[in-house]
Amino acid sequence: MPRVRILPAGAEFEVGEGEAVAEAAWRHGHVWPTQCWGQADCMTCFTRIVDGELCALPAEREELDAVRAKMSPRFRSDPLVRLACRLRCQGDGLVLEKQGFRAAEPAESGGAD
Amino acid sequence: MTVTDPRRTGDIEAALAHGPNGPEVNAKVPHHMDGWLRVPAERYHSREFFELEKEKLWPHVWQMAAREEEIPNPGDFVEYEIVGQSLLIVRQHDGSVKALHNACRHRATELGSGCGRFPGGQIVCPFHGWRWKIDGSISHVFGREGFAEETVRPEDIALREAKCDTWGGHVWVNLDLDAPPLLEALFPAANILQRNGVQRMRAKWWKETILNCNWKLAQEAFFEGWHVKQTHPQLYTYKDGPDNETNLQNTVYTPFVNGHGRFQSGDAKEGYGGKPDFLQAARLNWAGQDAMTLERDITVFESVAGDMDTSDPAYVAKAFDALYKFWEGAGIPAPDRTPEVLKMWGGDIHMFPNYLMLPMYANALCYRVRPYNDDPDWCRFEVWSLTTYPEKEERGRLELSGRFDKDDADHWGLIPRQDFANLERMQRGIKNRSLTEIRLSEKWEVTIANMHQELDRRLAARS
């Protein structure tokens, strides 16, 4: 399974096949900021690709439409800014920056609920 | 639960509908049925009757809400709407399915729309951000400190559930928490279909159209095969010529308890074997609707045709041999080769109130018809083509291909376009002042009357 690395926290975790990065983070019990919990609506989960761009699968229509309609103008046209609730990846090279990301305490790694 | 109680399979043919309703039912229902031979026209267009259905039928009846493959993974959801009531059908972490009323317990905003996922296992209100787990229990009240304790008790603000169960690859719901068990309500229709293996089928495609036709009038066009000769003349491959009115399919119509109905071939001959040209009929069926008979079946049938006369019953037997051999070789689980199963091929099951399945070979054609836009004159008409895939084949998540105009020839085959064309003419005709009722054949259309008799019993019920 692909792995991603998150800065500045420095944490790494596995992302399942077909799973989005934010969804994987929640599954591991990490805190990945969101308000809509994966509906491509609130834009809170946005993240910047800092390395391994080729490991990120291209954005699909739903993500492109949501970013165009709802993302802050400052990030709207930056191709390295992606929605983590729609960002899928391959291989182990993807490095993302996400302020507010917090790795799970070992005891709470059972999942978001 | 996905297995029909096997003890009841032997009871199928005895589960015949009771006679017409008596005054205890009829006195409570406007425009009620009177016997089996006529249906009052108002039942198809009156606002009063439609409102009674909204009050007494839909909130209390088991109905097909989704195909299971629409929600394969935990957190997947699909919305089901019936007469203005919306439910979220959600796959749970343990593989079961729940139906949650789709309204925020705070200020009633609908929480989900269409289909999608709740990743992270959270259902979030887009208005103020209240949040639930996918089992409907509350997980976060945004701004809780601003609420009086009594208004945000967890048991009060959990999402309300409807009854929800699975059978035959479908998710079924009933808004009435006191409803009888699903399989009791579906008896004996589910038992018959189970024998034909519908529980092993998956959707090949799913489409819908919006029709200017009452939901009952629309579905009743599919309660009999008797209309085929006039509505679908291209399918009529008998050699006896167009003048013969005898129905050579020897079709038998059976009204069952619970308002269900069936038609099927009337003897133990092998399905459509009575057609003079079996192969031609199969090709027309495939080309005309891409359901019931699929390209895969045609290839198998052609593979043994050679120089044979394809109207010879010996050819039909050979074609079925080849089909069973193909299924075995491909790893496709086959239905039993019994007279009961084969008689159903080319037949039709109506499951009260609004779902039909037409099993054939390892395939089925399905229809669901719902009222549309709170209007007795309109319906939302959905069509599925199901088939049985090799056991290990992964098919991914099912989504609606789209909503297509009723005469869109790029998306509907000739057969459904011919049926749809009749439906809107029927809805205009049913309001014609020259008639107060429609008349039914006691031989070919008895399951239509049976559906209406069951409907009257529902409308007369107290709750």
DSSP string covering B155-218: HHHSPPEEEEEEETTEEEEES-TTPPPHHHHHTTHHHHHHHTTGGG-EEEEEEEEEESS-HHHH
Spatial CA neighbour of B381 closest among B209, B223, B212, B170: B209
Q: What are phi and psi of B284, to 5 degrees?
A: -65, -35
- For chain B, the average pLDDT equals 92
Chain B residues within 8 A of A22 when measuring between CB atoms = 119-120
pTM: 0.91
For the ranges B11-15, B240-244, B248-252, the maximum mean pLDDT occurs at B11-15
Check: CB of residue B86 under 8 Å from CB of residue B103: yes
Least confident window among B47-51, B162-166, B240-244, B435-439:
B240-244
B226 falls in which pLDDT band (50, 70, 90)? confident
User: What confidence tens digit (pLDDT) does each residue in B400-456 have?
Assistant: 999 999 999 999 999 999 999 999 999 999 999 999 999 999 989 999 999 999 999
Q: What is the percent of chain B with per-residue pLDDT over 70, rounded to a whole number?
A: 92
The strands making up A94-97's β-sheet, listed across from edge to edge, are A11-14, A3-7, A94-97, A46-51, A81-83
Chain A residues within 8 A of B94 when measuring between CB atoms = none
B144 falls in which pLDDT band (50, 70, 90)? very high
Check: CB of residue B260 under 8 Å from CB of residue B188: yes
Chain B residues within 8 A of A21 when measuring between CB atoms = none
Q: Where are the beta strands (DSSP E) in A9-102?
A: 11-14, 46-51, 81-83, 94-97
Q: What is the percent of chain B with per-residue pLDDT over 90, rounded to a whole number?
A: 84
- ω into B359 cis (within 30 of 0): no
d(CA B59, CA B84): 11
User: What confidence tens digit (pLDDT) does each residue in A19-47 have?
Assistant: 999 999 999 999 999 999 999 999 999 99
Distance from the B87 Cα atom to the nearest Cα atom in chain A, whole angstroms: 18
* Structure token digits, residue B380: 């939302």
Q: What is the DSSP string of B129-149?
A: --EEETTS-EEE-TTGGGS-G
Asked if A112's CB is within 8 angstroms of B131's CB, the reply is no
Q: Are strands A46-51 and A81-83 parallel, antiparallel or unpaired?
A: antiparallel
d(CA B298, CA B277): 13
Test the A interface: residue of B122, B128, B135, B140 with most A CBs within 10 Å: B122
User: What confidence tens digit (pLDDT) does each residue in B305-324 have?
Assistant: 998 999 888 999 999 999 99
User: What confidence tens digit (pLDDT) does each residue in B61-114 have?
Assistant: 999 999 999 999 999 999 999 999 999 999 999 999 999 999 999 999 999 999
Residue B29 has pLDDT above 60, yes or no: yes
Which residues on chain B place their C-beta less than 8 Å from a C-beta of chain A? 116-124, 126, 129, 131, 133-134, 139
- Least CB-CB distance to B119: which of A35, A41, A85? A85
- Least CB-CB distance to A38: which of B119, B126, B133? B119
Chain B residues within 8 A of A36 when measuring between CB atoms = 124, 126
Distance from the A47 Cα atom to the nearest Cα atom in chain B, whole angstroms: 17
pLDDT value at residue B463: 62
